[in-house]
């Protein structure tokens, strides 16, 4: 069963690394390198905007997975936030209380600036916050192997998250646990993304060119920006709550018993970690159990003495 005991988790995201790696995963090897100049020149150009939207990184999926190990004590993302590609994510990241660490454009003397800054901060945090139990490193670079090894020597459990095919095997081996970003609950299957991309391109071609140029920025920002529970229009609260429940159950599956049963209290705790503004009473339910029972298309519920057990619908 999912343990309700709190861990204390620090999450560090090498944001440029994960964005570039996922772009290459979606569009093919070295795609970001080939498109880099066009992306830097104008990320709202229709074709580039479509490719960026298709390769959107779901930051919420990463944070929600990390929250399954305990309370997120701190979350930091490292990138050049003046870059339009990264700036698009700022609202999504700030909405999840992620600390944005500014790294100025790399020059010859600043190579691997993200790696060094992230590693220094992580080691400092472990000494400054001795109650940290888990360190989540979201990256794929082998330069993080010494950091993972040091964290383990200092008694922390290291969880790695990286894009399949772009993560160094040595980094995965240096972690206590490693999860490919592709398999995180809530991340669409890559095959579905590739099927959807021609449809997006077709829709983009139908619109008149001047209108495309004026409309592209807000559309791109909308697609790359996540909504938190509290920011969602009231009529959509139930849909968002259902999504939170499904994601929490998917994350907890491997931590449940052989049949996937989880304690309802632990599931609610994880949902509150994912979105502290969640409230079943705001949705009109007297208890969390009533909320779960109303989602019979998502969850099975079983009573075991005084405990309520729940699992993803089989």
Domain CATH for 290:
3.30.420.610
- Rounded to the nearest integer, the mean pLDDT of the chain is 82
Pair (134, 246) in one structural domain: no
According to the model, what pLDDT value does residue 219 have?
37
pLDDT at residue 223, as a whole number: 39
Inter-CA distances, 295 with 66, 198, 201, 226, Å: 24, 34, 35, 23
pLDDT over threshold 90, residue 190: no
Question: How do residues 230-258 score in pLDDT, each as one tens digit?
Answer: 444 444 788 889 999 999 998 888 776 76
pLDDT at 189 over 90: no
Would 193 be classed as within a structural domain?
no
Q: How many CB atoms lie within 10 A of CB 291?
A: 24
Domain shared by 169 and 236, yes or no: no
Same domain, 31 and 178: yes
Q: Mean pLDDT, to the nearest integer, of 168-186?
A: 89
Q: What is the CATH number of the domain that holds 31?
A: 3.40.50.1010
pLDDT (tens digit, 9 = 90+) per residue, 28-37? 989 999 999 8
User: Do 164 and 50 sit in the same domain of this protein?
Assistant: yes
pLDDT band at 224 (very low <50, low <70, confident <90, very high): very low
pLDDT at 68 over 50: yes
Q: Give the model's pLDDT for residue 240.
A: 87
pTM above 0.95, yes or no: no
Position 197 confidence tier, pLDDT thresholds 50, 70, 90: low
Does residue 214 belong to any structural domain of this protein? no
Give the dihedral of Cα atoms 284, 295, 243, 6; nearest 10 deg.
80
Same-domain pairing of 28 and 175: yes
Write down which residue in 144, 161, 183 finishes a domain. Answer: 183
Residue 209 included in any domain: no
Alpha-carbon distance of 247 to 251, in angstroms, equals 6
Count of structural domains, the chain? 2
Same-domain status, 170 and 61 = yes
146: left (phi over 0), alpha (psi -120 to 50) or beta: alpha
* Predicted confidence band of residue 228 (pLDDT cuts 50, 70, 90): very low
Q: Are 91 and 116 in contact (CB under 8 A)?
A: no
Q: Given this model, what pLDDT does residue 90 score?
A: 86
Q: How much is the pLDDT for 2?
A: 46
- By percentage, how much of the chain surpasses pLDDT 90? 46
Q: Which of 151, 183, 215 is the last residue before a domain boundary?
A: 183
Confidence tier at 151 by pLDDT (50, 70, 90): very high
Number of H helices, E strands in the chain: 14, 9
pLDDT level of residue 101 (50, 70, 90 thresholds): very high
Give domain status of residue 222, yes or no. no
State both tokens at 115.
């790696």
Tokens encoding 190: 């890559």
What's the mean pLDDT in 162-189?
88
Domain boundary among 159, 183, 207: 183
Per-residue model confidence (pLDDT) at position 40: 87
Residue owning tokens 């709190």: 6
Q: Is the pLDDT of residue 93 over 80?
A: yes
pLDDT of residue 111: 52
Looking at the fold, whether 179 and 288 belong to one and the same domain comes out as: no
pLDDT(202) > 90: no
Position 306 in a domain? yes
Within a domain: 207? no
In a domain, 85, yes or no: yes
Model confidence at 196: pLDDT above 90? no
Res 1: pLDDT: 43
Residues 164, 57 within the same domain: yes
Host H or E run for residue 241? helix 237-252
Q: Residues 29, 130: one domain? A: yes
Query: Is the domain of 124 the same as that of 273?
Result: no
Given pLDDT bands bounded at 50, 70 and 90, which one contains residue 191?
A: low
Do 68 and 163 lie in one domain? The reply is yes
Burial of 105 per CB tally in 10 Å (0-12, 13-18, 19+): exposed
The strand pair at 262-263 and 299-304 is best described as unpaired
Domain of 74 in residue numbering reads as: 8-183
Does any domain span residue 246? yes
The answer on 248 and 171 residing in a single domain is: no
Most confident of the following: 32-41, 144-153, 261-270: 144-153
Looking at residues 289-308, what average pLDDT do you find?
Answer: 88
């Amino acid at each position: 069963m999912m343990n309700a005991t709190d861990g204390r988790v620090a999450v560090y995201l090498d944001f440029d690394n994960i964005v570039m790696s996922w772009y290459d995963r979606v569009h093919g090897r070295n795609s970001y390198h080939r498109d880099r100049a066009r992306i830097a020149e104008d990320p709202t150009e229709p074709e580039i905007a479509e490719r960026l939207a298709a390769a959107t990184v779901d930051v919420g999926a990463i944070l929600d997975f990390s929250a399954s190990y305990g309370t997120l004590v701190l979350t930091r993302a490292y990138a050049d936030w003046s870059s339009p590609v990264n700036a698009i994510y700022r609202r999504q990241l700030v909405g999840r209380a992620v600390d944005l660490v500014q790294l100025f454009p790399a020059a010859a003397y600043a190579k691997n600036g993200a790696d060094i800054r992230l590693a220094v901060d992580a080691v400092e945090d472990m000494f400054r916050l001795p109650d940290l139990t888990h360190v989540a490193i979201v990256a794929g670079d082998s330069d993080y192997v010494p950091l993972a090894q040091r964290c383990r020597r200092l008694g922390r459990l290291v969880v790695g998250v990286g894009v399949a095919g772009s993560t160094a095997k040595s980094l995965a081996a240096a972690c206590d646990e490693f999860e490919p970003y592709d398999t995180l609950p809530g991340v669409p299957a890559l095959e579905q993304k590739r099927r959807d991309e021609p449809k997006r391109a077709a829709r983009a071609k139908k619109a008149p060119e001047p209108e495309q140029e004026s409309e592209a920025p807000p559309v791109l920002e909308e697609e790359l920006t996540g909504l938190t529970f509290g920011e969602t229009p009231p009529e959509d609260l139930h849909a968002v709550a259902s999504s939170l429940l499904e994601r929490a159950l998917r994350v907890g599956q491997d931590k449940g018993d052989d049949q996937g049963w989880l304690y309802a209290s632990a599931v609610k705790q994880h949902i509150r970690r994912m979105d502290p503004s969640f409230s079943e009473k705001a949705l009109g339910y007297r208890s969390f159990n009533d909320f779960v029972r109303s989602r019979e298309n998502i969850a099975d519920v079983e009573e075991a003495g005084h405990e309520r057990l729940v699992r993803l619908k089989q």
